[in-house]
Amino acid sequence: MDITDDDYVNLLSALLPPGPAWSADDPAIAGAAPSLRRVHERGDALMLELDPRTTTELISRWEKCCGLPDECIPSGTQTIRQRQQRLDAKVNLIGGINEEFYLQQLAALGKPGASITRYDKGPFNCSSKCTDAVYSGEWRYHWQVNMPASADTTWMNCTDNCETPIRYWGDTVAECVINKLSPSHTHVIFKYP
């Protein structure tokens, strides 16, 4: 609900003591109303700064408290929305080494459609189903993050030089964060559509 100057004039008038000393038409009351309305609006705007998902004015202070930007994000390369997402992911980090934890981190980084493939069933042997993957025992330390179809893809264009790849893709921020949070004895593979 938006508060107007007239609302503050009415509020101030209601606070006046009874009697002839003050009147509701006093210019001091009408003059104070715009200042009080601006203070009210400013207070409402500052309430948005308490949440890392909506902060804009205090985002640098939030990032300083959380140790951001870190090595995953070069300074000055992200939009406000991307900074808010990274900050939200860092502030609301609960912890864990299960699949759900990593999917929540990916969702907070703007990849809600990501999925994880694990290779922990052991090597292919004579009792395996014919549809099981063929891999050795070392693959139990590997897991794959399947990025959603909305992942960034960059194609070569006519202004690029000859050494530029025809196509490259990847979300270096999401990859860095997941690698940083993954258990040290595992290896993460990122698969893009």
Q: Residues 137, 122: contact at Cβ < 8 Å?
A: yes
Average pLDDT, the chain: 84
What CA–CA distance (Å, rounded) separates 55 from 33?
Answer: 28
Structure confidence by residue, pLDDT tens digits, 101-140: 999 889 888 888 899 998 876 666 777 777 766 666 677 8
Rounded Cα–Cα distance for residues 26 and 33 (Å): 12
Residues 69-94, mean pLDDT to the nearest whole number: 81
* CA-CA-CA-CA torsion sign (178, 179, 183, 186): positive
CB atoms within 10 A of CB 171: 20
Q: Which residues contact 24 (CB under 8 A, 6 or more apart)?
A: 9, 13, 16
pTM of the predicted structure, to 2 decimals: 0.59
In the predicted model, is pLDDT for residue 78 greater than 90?
no
How many CB atoms within 10 Å of residue 113? 14
